[in-house]
């Protein structure tokens, strides 16, 4: 089951049939592993925690990840969220809901007792992540997409649970009153977590994600 390279790099050449088969094989393993991990973490897990768990035994489905470079992180992030949205669709029919965001990924029993069980077809993020043609993109496109996404031009609106998790990551006791307070707290947290001061790159990634969620919240 060891497939360390598929999710860790994004080739710029056209995909072959063999590569597509390998990617689909990787996705099937990730679906099984991700569901198992989520059921073992009923309180939820963030994206970084899920990636690290998938890197370890017994799964070892994701190789080394460069969290400091968006174009290197993007293929891992995209493939993971592709799996999460597929899993959400699969589990909806059995009365379970899957909360999906970088800060909190949580599987719960659905409180909805009627409907088709299929998530909202107008969900733009779902449509994006289920389109495997978006798995490989040039660095310029990745950076532009991320800027548009967090600026709110994609229609992204963080859910209350995401906002609370983001505030907690930045050290707030509750949701801050304004964005200036967020910027001040973010700068201080980044300085404290900087590798030159003994921090880790992964911690910086968590802070960046939290800052981006609160930025989207206040822009909306």
DSSP alpha helix (H) spans, the chain:
17-40, 47-55, 70-92, 124-129, 139-150, 160-169, 179-193, 201-219
The number of domains in the chain is: 2
Together in a domain, 59 and 149? yes
On average, the pLDDT of the chain sits at 79
Together in a domain, 174 and 112? no
Distances 161 to 1, 210, 213, 214 between C-alpha atoms, Å = 34, 12, 11, 12
What lies within 8 Å, CB to CB, of 78 at 6+ separation is 129, 134, 135
First to last CA, the chain: 43
Together in a domain, 84 and 183? no
Together in a domain, 186 and 198? yes
Q: Mind listing the pLDDT tens digit for each residue in 45-94?
A: 988 899 999 999 999 999 988 776 767 788 998 999 999 999 999 998 88
Taking the CA atoms of 75, 76, 82 and 86 in sequence, report the sign of the dihedral they define. positive
Together in a domain, 47 and 140? yes
Domain's final residue, options 107, 140, 156: 156
Q: Mind listing the pLDDT tens digit for each residue in 149-165?
A: 545 445 567 788 889 98
Instruction: Report cis status (omega within 30 of 0) of the bond before 31.
Output: no
Which residue's entry shows tokens 């229609």? 155
What residues make up the domain containing 182?
Answer: 157-220
**Residue 213 belongs to domain with CATH number:** 1.10.287
Together in a domain, 38 and 95? yes
Together in a domain, 121 and 218? no
pTM, two decimal places: 0.67
């Amino acid at each position: 089951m060891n497939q360390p390279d598929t999710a860790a790099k994004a080739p710029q050449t056209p995909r072959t049939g063999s590569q597509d088969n390998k990617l689909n094989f990787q996705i099937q393993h990730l679906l099984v592993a991700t569901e198992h991990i989520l059921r073992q973490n009923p309180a939820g897990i963030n994206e970084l925690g899920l990636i690290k768990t998938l890197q370890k035994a017994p799964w070892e489905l994701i190789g080394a990840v460069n969290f400091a470079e968006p174009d290197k992180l993007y293929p891992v992030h995209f493939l993971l969220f592709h799996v999460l949205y597929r899993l959400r669709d699969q589990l909806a029919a059995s009365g379970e809901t899957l909360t999906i965001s970088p800060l909190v990924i949580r599987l719960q029993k659905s409180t909805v007792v009627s409907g088709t069980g299929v998530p909202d077809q107008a969900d733009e993020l779902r449509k994006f992540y289920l389109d495997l043609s978006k798995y490989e993109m040039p660095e310029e496109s990745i950076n532009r997409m991320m800027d548009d996404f967090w600026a709110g031009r994609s229609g992204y609106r963080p859910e209350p649970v995401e906002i609370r998790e983001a505030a907690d990551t930045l050290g707030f006791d509750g949701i801050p009153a304004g964005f200036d307070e967020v910027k001040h707290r973010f700068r201080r947290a980044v300085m404290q977590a900087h590798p030159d001061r003994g921090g880790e790159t992964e911690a910086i990634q968590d802070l960046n994600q939290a800052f981006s969620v609160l930025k989207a919240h206040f822009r909306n």
